[in-house]
């Protein structure tokens, strides 16, 4: 198995582009796939630097319907016409941060290989997708500014469009999420409902970033409580992108070696 951070906010491999976005490249025994595609065509340029043949990718999983995870789909599709692109149907509705549109490019829906699903999906013995994450423990406070359009009305986003990828390989399980808008603890609760235990490895943003770096008391408490609970789980966590460096550092103090930073162009495994 091979996992590599193709796109992330911070620089890793020399020559690779960093941008506000996320894309993870994965090779299993049966598949070559992407979880998300970043914000722009950076994944194309980084793949060239890293010697990754994107034309061999057979599956693209969109974790949720935001531009910084879906922006590379159209550039990718110019080079790869056959990979199935799987997203929740609810990822196609308009999404906003305040008045700013942050949803996917609607041209993506014209691609013939887009597959819209609703709910959980077992692709094969290696790949499983789950959604329906309803818990609200340590819920990311940044979600309060995010909305979507349903039935012609703008409402608070409930992130039904968020889905997580589970990979089974060599008797180990990897859980991958884009931003964990539903809260990483709630995602793990849902994972445990489905699989009965915890995964061995988790790759996910934690959606704790603040542009000004100024956290309220409540926000700090949520970050610290999340880290304390994650530190009790027998797993290794890889995080970056929307976690934000200050939040990551707070969590690292608690989680130690159980928390590892993602960087653009660096190999995870």
Q: pLDDT at residue 211 above 90?
A: no
Task: Provide the H-helix boundaries in the chain.
Answer: 42-50, 67-70, 73-79, 184-195, 217-230, 245-255
pLDDT tens, position by position, 24-50: 999 999 999 999 999 999 999 999 999
pLDDT tens, position by position, 218-232: 999 999 999 999 999
Q: pLDDT at residue 134 above 90?
A: yes
Q: pLDDT at residue 142 above 80?
A: yes
Report the pLDDT value the prediction gives residue 125, as an integer from 0 to 100.
Answer: 98
pLDDT tens, position by position, 70-94: 999 999 999 999 999 999 999 999 9
Report the DSSP beta bridge partners of residue 196.
none
CA distances, 260 to each of 173, 252, 255 (Å) = 17, 8, 9
Model confidence band, residue 213 (pLDDT cutoffs 50, 70, 90) = confident
């Amino acid at each position: 198995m091979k996992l590599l951070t193709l796109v992330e906010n911070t620089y890793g491999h020399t020559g690779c582009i960093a941008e506000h976005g996320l894309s993870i490249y994965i090779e299993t025994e049966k598949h070559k796939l992407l979880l998300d595609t970043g914000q722009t065509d950076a994944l194309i340029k980084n793949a060239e630097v890293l010697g990754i043949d994107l034309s061999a990718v057979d599956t693209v999983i969109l974790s949720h319907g935001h531009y910084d995870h879906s922006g590379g789909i159209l550039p990718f599709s110019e080079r790869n016409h056959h990979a199935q692109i799987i997203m929740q149907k609810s990822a196609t509705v308009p999404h906003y941060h305040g008045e700013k549109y942050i949803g996917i490019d609607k041209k993506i829906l014209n691609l013939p290989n887009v597959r819209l699903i609703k709910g959980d999906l077992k692709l094969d013995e290696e790949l499983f997708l789950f959604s329906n994450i309803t818990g609200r423990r340590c819920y990311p406070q940044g979600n309060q500014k995010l909305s979507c359009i349903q039935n012609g009305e703008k409402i608070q986003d409930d992130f039904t469009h968020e889905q997580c990828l589970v990979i089974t390989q060599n008797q180990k399980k990897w859980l991958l999420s884009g931003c964990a808008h539903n809260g990483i603890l709630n995602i793990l609760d849902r994972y445990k409902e489905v699989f009965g235990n915890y995964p061995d490895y988790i790759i996910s943003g934690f959606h704790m970033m603040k542009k000004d770096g100024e956290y309220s008391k409540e926000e700090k408490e949520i970050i610290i409580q999340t880290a304390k609970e994650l530190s009790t789980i027998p797993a290794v966590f890889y995080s970056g992108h929307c976690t934000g460096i200050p939040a990551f550092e707070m969590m690292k103090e608690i989680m130690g070696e159980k928390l590892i930073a993602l960087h653009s162009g660096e190999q995870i495994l």
